[in-house]
Amino acid sequence: MQLAQVREATVPRKDGAKTVLRTLADRTGETAHVTVLSGTTLYGLCECESPHHGTRAVIDINTFPLHATASGLCALAFGPSNLHAIALGSLEEFTANTPTTEAKLTQLIEVVRETGISHSDQCYEIEIQGIAAPIFDHTGHLAGAVAVACVASRFTPELAHTIKTELLIAARDITHNWGGTIPRPIEQSWAKTLTKMTKQETAS
């Protein structure tokens, strides 16, 4: 936490994320939040709950399990390689959907790398769907993730499309505010993901 506080004192990351989060929460109608990676730990930085619904996801944790949250999966997919061993050393089962084997976790990470977006389907909390996208800073390395936590009963294909579309906008904006640039391979993955979603929407 001390490292996170020092980083926050020298780089006003909250200020670079809060406005973006408010827009993201308003456009999706769900809770938006940002995490930052410090060492091998993923810390919560700030969050914004949407006023659109009386029932909404509440972010009440300070550190995010790498294997069980959408933000954590982003860190495993795009962060330092040593995070994988850290995650495998603590595969705590939070729900029946939590990946608790190396094979299952690896499978999820591969999907994140392919799409550029992570999805935690009630892996940390029952009735909560999490979707996240990576964010970067001036170093060119992963700085954390921006995510939307959605009440599962409201999670539809249409809402998933909206969340993913708005997440990518938010990830680019926060990355820009933090002096970074989204890596080209991730931008390419995002473009393919959006194209695929649009084709599926048209076909349906």
3-class secondary structure, 137: coil
For the chain, give every domain's residue range: 2-203
pLDDT in tens, 21-56: 999 999 999 999 999 999 999 999 999 988 777 676
Cα–Cα dist 175/197, whole Å: 24
pLDDT in tens, 60-89: 788 999 999 999 999 999 999 999 999 999
pLDDT in tens, 165-203: 999 999 999 999 999 999 999 999 999 998 888 777 666
Judge: domain 2-203, CATH 3.20.20.70: no
Cα–Cα dist 188/86, whole Å: 28
